[in-house]
Amino acid sequence: MAIQNLSEHVLLITLPAEPQSGKELERVVRSAGTGTDCDIIVDFSLVEILSSAMICNLMILDRLQSAAGRQLVLCSVSRNICGVFTRVGLHKLFRFAEDEFAALQSLDRSTCLEP
């Protein structure tokens, strides 16, 4: 898993192809729980397997981001992984973007719309 700052207020997390220990996102969740002031983009371009631990951590991260007034966007989600989100009914919970650029644009647009 790679984590990089795209800007002062946007963090990009690139998930690995397969979950190594199920704890990849826990570090990010702990960080968000301590009041991170960043929107987060999670890049699924390498993901081949989606574990239940990853889904759980994404749900926790989404809740923490929402409570902090920040956004979470999932991008580059393959058709197979998107199917998992749809089958478990989570496609309505998360915000999706085609790729990293589209995710950044969606964050910019929503920021511009806020008073």
Q: Please state at what angle helix 26-33 crosses helix 52-67, rounded to 10 degrees.
A: 20
pLDDT in tens, 62-95: 999 999 899 999 999 999 999 999 999 999 999 9
Q: Which amino acid is at 61?
A: L
pLDDT at 56 > cutoff 60: yes
Question: Mean of the pLDDT values across residues 33-60?
Answer: 86
Q: How confident is the model at residue 100 (pLDDT cuts 50, 70, 90)?
A: very high
Q: Give the residue numbers spanning the domain of 18.
A: 2-113
For the chain, give the mean pLDDT: 84
- DSSP string over 82-105: HHHHHHTT-TTTSEEESSHHHHHH
Number of domains comprising the chain: 1
Q: How confident is the model at residue 60 (pLDDT cuts 50, 70, 90)?
A: very high
pTM for the full predicted model: 0.85
CA dihedral 84, 88, 91, 92 (to 10 degrees): 180
Question: Mean of the pLDDT values across residues 18-38?
Answer: 67
Phi, psi (degrees; rounded to nearest 5) at 63: -65, -45
The angle subtended at Cα 61 by Cα 53 and Cα 38, nearest 5°, is: 140
Query: Which residue, 91, 97, 34, is CA-closest to 61?
Result: 34
CATH number of the domain that residue 76 is part of: 3.30.750.24
